[in-house]
Chains A and B, each alone.
Chain A
Amino acid sequence: MKAIISVIGEDRLGVIAKVSTKLFELNINIEDISQTIMQNYFTMIMMVDTSKSTLGFSEMADEMKKLGEEIGMEIRMQSESIFNAMHKI
């Protein structure tokens, strides 16, 4: 399944490294990354493929949320379908 991971929070060292490491551990493949600073907030969007992971979606999302809490960022993982539903006719 394709999913979107968003990482939002104050800019700090090593955010991409920590998020990528966690995704590697979970066997989730990163397909695309973009990042920017918006209104003083670091905003990173990742498109990932979860098909090789053995965990259920809720567990993966939960792992990412927990990582966010550890590094002081808000991390969400959502199925790509909600974005497609809303923005594609």
Chain B
Amino acid sequence: MLSKDEILETISMINSQHLDVRTITMGISLLDCIGNTVSETCERVYEKITTKAKNLVKVGNDIQDEFGVPIVNKRISVTPVSLITAKTGGSIEVAKTLDKCAEEVGVDFIGGYSALVQKGMTDFEKEFLLTIPEALACTGKLCSSVNVASTKTGINMDAVKMMGKIIKEISYLTRDQGSIGCAKFVVFANAVEDNPFMAGAFHGVGEADTVINVGVSGPGVVKVALEQVKDGDLTVVAETVKKVAYKITRVGQMVAQEASKRLNANFGIIDLSLAPTPVMGDSVGHILEEMGLDCVGAYGTTACLALLNDAVKKGGIMASSHVGGLSGAFIPVSEDIGMINAVNKGCLKLEKLEAMTAICSVGLDMVAVGGDTPADVLSAMIADECAIGVVNNKTTAVRVIPVYGKNSGSVNFGGLLGTAPIMPINTTSPSRFIERGGRIPAPVWANKN
């Protein structure tokens, strides 16, 4: 029998602490859609996605009504498009088709305009990568990602070199909207195949035909729980986070099982990431401050984040039968009011953010930099993040936005993407390093067999 306190605790988490399910993402394989011509492929893609995901939004809304927990986003991820168009080319047409599918079924985003080039690039992949800026400029809901490194293969520096230029071009082509295209493009090391979060979601080739992956959230719930243990030591803090993470994840697990059943899809994974939003009371930055820092970015930030990330995983793993995706605390600067304030105060700098990415779930995320940042500096930022990911055997990523025509101030993307303060960066030239190209070999501990 449920107690009154338990019922009120759940209601309060949803009502005032912003507990929500951040996303139900349906992964759809497009491998069976490859046609002899690109128009044949597009027809099959449209048919498959609009059939499989026809009820995705309705089911999401029904579950939201029934359980009383907000489900903020409904999304689709697909097989990396570079593989789908390998034979025929015409990736831009597929991009437009995917965007049309997203409009048709009413989802928020569709991800998978992606390529996996961590070791090398085929000619069709090179060609595909060059279409990314145009694809993002001529669509509204499409997201793109490229995996350029992995612990097993090392870092493909030829691809890394291209990424800086591609980001600059996306920035230019979407300059009328604050270079927003860059917010829909992410460069990965050790990309995962079942990530429900954007911009990096794609449906891996090792996945089943149709899969439901769910991303939970709830930084506000963790913050409020920590407010109750102000005098506790850090073991108490870790235990408190674990218990809350367990409860949050149980909600995600239930929603994922219910959604999979109703949509006739496989249950994939629960992603345990604590995903912030720009509203007050939904910030990962504020959790770290609740642990005892005056401001995120102070010394101690990395340690607090390590504790948080670990405790969230330990609590969440028991609550779900399959954990995957990125699973950890997100630190997207523009999407977290605590992080935005810390950057504006001058307390949180890019170097500290980089250190945080060594232990958190992703990487340099939603970081705005000056529009005149050279492409090779962006490539070098990516190379550094890849090195952190490859050596630590974890996923890292860069979603950086050089805001065209702006070198200071901030840029507002609206909605969940938030407001990004333009951060000062070290622009000392790394161009000779980037120009070398080639491959940085895999670390010694990649050779485990």
Q: Is the CB of B2 within 8 A of A83?
A: yes
Contacts of B4 in A (CB 8 A): 34, 36, 45
Q: How far is the CB of B413 from chain A (nearest CB, A)?
A: 32
Q: How far is the CA of A6 from the CA of B6 in the complex (A)?
A: 12
> What range describes how many residues of B lie at the interface?
10 to 19
Return the contact of B65 from the options A4, A8, A57 (Cβ within 8 A): A57
Q: Are B69 and A61 in contact (CB under 8 A)?
A: no
On whether the beta carbons of A61 and B254 are closer than 8 Å, the reply is no
With contact pairs A6-B11, A76-B11 given, residues A83 and B66 touching in the complex (Cβ less than 8 Å): no
With contacts A36-B4, A76-B68, A78-B67 known, is A83 near B10, CB below 8 A? yes
The chain A residues found within 8 Å of chain B, CB to CB, are 4, 6, 8, 34, 36, 38, 43, 45, 47, 57-58, 61-62, 76-88
Which single residue of chain A is at the shortest CB-CB distance from B250? A85
Contact B67 A86 (CB under 8 A): no
Q: Are B65 and A87 in contact (CB under 8 A)?
A: no
Are B254 and A85 in contact (CB-based, < 8 A)? Answer: yes
Residues on B close to A: CB < 8 A?
2, 4, 6-11, 62, 65-69, 247, 250-251, 253-254
Contacting residue for A61 out of B11, B65, B253, CB 8 A: B65
For A81, the closest partner residue in chain B by CB is B254
Are A86 and B8 within 8 A (Cβ)? no
Measured CB to CB, the closest approach of chain A to B316, in angstroms, equals 13
Distance of A80 Cα from B247 Cα, bound (Å): 15
B7→A45 contact, CB < 8 A: yes
* Alpha-carbon gap, A87 to B13, bound state (A): 13
Q: 18 extra interchain contacts, Cβ-Cβ under 8 A, other than A8-B11, A87-B2?
A: A4-B2, A4-B7, A36-B4, A38-B8, A43-B8, A45-B4, A47-B2, A57-B66, A58-B62, A76-B11, A78-B66, A78-B67, A80-B2, A81-B254, A82-B251, A83-B7, A86-B6, A86-B250
Nearest 8 CB-CB pairings of A with B: A78-B68, A58-B65, A85-B254, A82-B67, A87-B6, A85-B250, A86-B247, A57-B66
